[in-house]
Chain A
């Protein structure tokens, strides 16, 4: 489990997170959604110990601020929104950074396999900085996947993928590909926590949803419990309607204006 208990984060004079309590279960895809500035990314950065915060966060029972980096790295990997590299690293070298031991690590090498997973099999020798933003994002995903290669550790504890807007710079085909990778990881027993903007993709792939508003959690629970017209409209401050579907099909969200035009 990834558990956050009464998290407060302050940046300067502004309190960005104002008492967030939530938990994420393994074998599920959990998404954090909400309008710009609602504290989604800040919550993610608190969950990864990237930001100092008040409150307690535990990952598989370890207090994340009392656990050394190498130990955390063995159980969770974090995909940032974007990564700019100054030096001319090749794609394969970047991906290999996800492997303990670094670029030149020996042992079984899964760089090629990881690049296959994200659809960049022939990109190993290209320069990272020559790729488009979307391709760079997929390279980073390959690196992150390599870090937590098996969704469940040898002791049976789950490993975690923590993704900050993993599909924001991708075309729709690759959005589906990346979400499917996250889905597969969860289906094999790992935990996935992702900050998302796209409610429809979230509805398709997620089990659990946290809707943020003004530094607090507005609603959390199963996707069908959170994706409700009035919750969304209140959080986003605009008319949103959730399309009703049979239980086995994903919900979809449409802006109200688009519906009234019909």
Chain B
């Protein structure tokens, strides 16, 4: 008979080893991200710039401090947000297909952002300043998840077909609403919208990072204590209640967490697809579905993945830039199809 300690050790040990490698990957990606680009900056320059900025030529300092560093941090926090939101939504809906991009949550967030950009000046919240767009996007994401949950969940069971169809309908409605607003927008707003809609991290600035970063970090911080509850929720809502979990509170917190993280991520980066579905899936395949391991690993992997995708988008057609959404879709699309072909992963669908 296998003793207990041996019996769980493999998956936990693998998850911990994976975490180690993900840290290495993240640090390597950060270094690459800081030192790659049109202006040649060495690793040494980067270190000098970070520690004693005064000793560096102004041009390198500007490149590092004002362009690459905020962009690197933005990629990390957006990647972590998208990956963790995906994992949390999949746990909440008990379905591996739930991803903010697929079920229309990103579209809802996008509409929130468009509303803020077009009507922002006229709204009483204009005082929110740079926070307006991320907060509006988070509100859009929150409303979408609530509607999805109300439509697709009956007596604690989420019907996946209903979820996906409702997601499509909501995305279409959100798109229509955005379209009306874009039609009504003036020239300056149109320019803002276009930049935003490109789905790129190119516009990452300290201001944007400070506006959206805290919202994403708050979403991530809320997600971490959900891990145990999401494990229990895998049994279904009724059974989760029977093993002692505060199911309603858990669901509310999960929805708020994903709304804040996805909403703010969409607000600063446009629609970056597939990170939320590819990362949690890959990790489940490697080290199992235990959310206590999955969520931290997803944050690390999402951050690295987006850093690398951003890097590819910067260098592949240099000196121009490919929108990062294209890179993640090119990587994620085939992976998603492969998952579908594997079949059994989808259980009830």
Contact = CB atoms under 8 A, between A and B. Distances in A.
Contacts of A104: 8, 12, 290, 292
A121 interface: yes
A78 B245 CA distance: 13
Contacts of B4: 92, 109, 111-112
Contacts of A100: 244
B95 interface: yes
A100 B228 CA distance: 10
A50 interface: yes
B224 interface: no
Contacts of B20: none
A22 B238 CA distance: 23
A92 B7 contact: yes
Contacts of B289: 87-89, 93
Contacts of B10: 125
Interface in B284-316: 284, 288-290, 292
Given A109-B4, A111-B7, A122-B2, A103 B243 contact: no
Interface in A206-260: none
B241 interface: yes
Given A93-B290, A104-B12, A125 B231 contact: no
B246 interface: yes
Which size class do B's interface residues fall under?
Answer: 35 or more
A70 B244 contact: yes
Given A69-B245, A86-B94, A80 B288 contact: no
Given A100-B244, A121-B1, A86 B234 contact: yes
Nearest to A68: B246
B160 to A, nearest CB: 9
B100 interface: no
Contact of B347 (A68, A84, A93, A122): A84
Contact of A73 (B95, B234, B244, B290): B244
Contact of A90 (B231, B241, B242, B288): B288
Given A104-B290, A104-B292, A122-B1, A85 B243 contact: no
A129 B10 CA distance: 19
Interface string A97-111: 110111110000101
Interface in B311-328: none
A77 B7 contact: no
25 contacts: A50-B238, A68-B246, A69-B245, A73-B242, A78-B239, A83-B235, A83-B239, A87-B96, A87-B234, A88-B288, A88-B289, A89-B234, A89-B290, A90-B288, A93-B8, A93-B290, A97-B231, A98-B243, A100-B244, A103-B228, A104-B290, A111-B7, A112-B1, A112-B7, A124-B7
